[in-house]
Amino acid sequence: MGPRGLGPALACCLLLAFACGPVLGRVPHAQLEQQQQQGTREPPLDHAERDEEKHEKYSSRQEDEPPASRCFRCCDPGTPMYQAIPVPQINITILKGEKGDRGDRGVQGKYGKTGSVGARGHAGPKGQKGSMGAPGDRCKNHYAAFSVGRKKPLHSNDYYQTVIFDTEFVNLYGHFNMFTGKFYCYVPGIYFFSLNVHTWNQKETYLHIMKNGEEVVILYAQVSDRSIMQSQSLMLELQDQDEVWVRLFKGERENAIFSDEFDTYITFSGYLVKPATEP
């Protein structure tokens, strides 16, 4: 067919298309209803949803049977989330070991602030009676007294002489030593002392009452044709172990005191007036 015959052929085809188009585009009524029912149906299910539908479909038949395990892919939608398994806890108190060695003492901490004074506590019960104590020594006795005499005359020589007494009238607790001729203080306090002598005619009388090696008072009588009684007294405050005695002056001049074996002319006495422990 030449170019001239092709043109009329195309024109005939176009006319047939316009004429038969409406008839060919119609759809039978039964087929149209079937398409509408298919259009209202739900979209096709995926793989996971189909498995669930099958499971629900056959669950009525397998009520008495245990559910079968299912496998899921991580890429499937709706993959169930599994709960994390808790980590087991161990009670370490039951895993107690042996007791260790004692550690070194730590450095002392700072002192805290002084707290307020607490309230006075209740008086406690009365205690039991204590046992009797040991007896005290004699220096704690608040008594001291002595009185001694001499029945022999005494003449001075080239050195000082302690007057030794040979007669004991009173010597409480032995505070006066008859061998040394001295009084020793064992009870501190205030004492009274008295010295009495008989002078020798035509001779001087010269004595001292001594305390710890020091001259305290003098008893003196000048040379006379007659012999007389001469005395001296005083009070002294003594401490423990103080010493008091009578001393005859040395022989720079003729010095003597008189006495005999029949009478006591020379006496020395002393006693405690007030102990130092008393207020």
Contact assessment for residue 234 and residue 217, using Cβ atoms and an 8 Å cutoff? yes
pLDDT confidence band for 31 (50 / 70 / 90) = low
DSSP assignment string, 61-122 = TTSSSPPPP----TTSTTPPPPPPPPPPP--GGGS--PPPPPPPPPPP----PPPPPPPPPP
Q: What is the mean pLDDT of residues 200-229?
A: 88
What are the distances in angstroms from CA 28 to CA 16, 19, 20, 39? 22, 19, 16, 17
Residue 272, SS3? strand
pLDDT confidence band for 27 (50 / 70 / 90) = very low
Length of the chain: 279
Rounded Cα–Cα distance for residues 209 and 231 (Å): 11
pLDDT, tens digit (0-9, with 9 covering 90-100), for 256-266: 888 888 889 99
pLDDT at 228: 84
Q: What does the domain layout of the chain look like in residue ranges?
A: 143-273
Give the range among 46-55, 146-155, 226-235, 264-273 with minimum mean pLDDT: 46-55
Q: How many CA atoms within 13 Å lie on the side-chain side of 37?
A: 6
| Residue 269 or residue 7, greater confidence | 269
pLDDT, tens digit (0-9, with 9 covering 90-100), for 153-168: 888 888 899 999 999 9
End-to-end CA distance of the chain: 171
What CATH topology corresponds to 143-273? Jelly Rolls (2.60.120)
216: closest CA among 200, 187, 195, 186? 195
pLDDT, tens digit (0-9, with 9 covering 90-100), for 86-96: 777 777 666 67
pLDDT, tens digit (0-9, with 9 covering 90-100), for 172-189: 999 999 999 999 999 999
Amino acid at 2: G
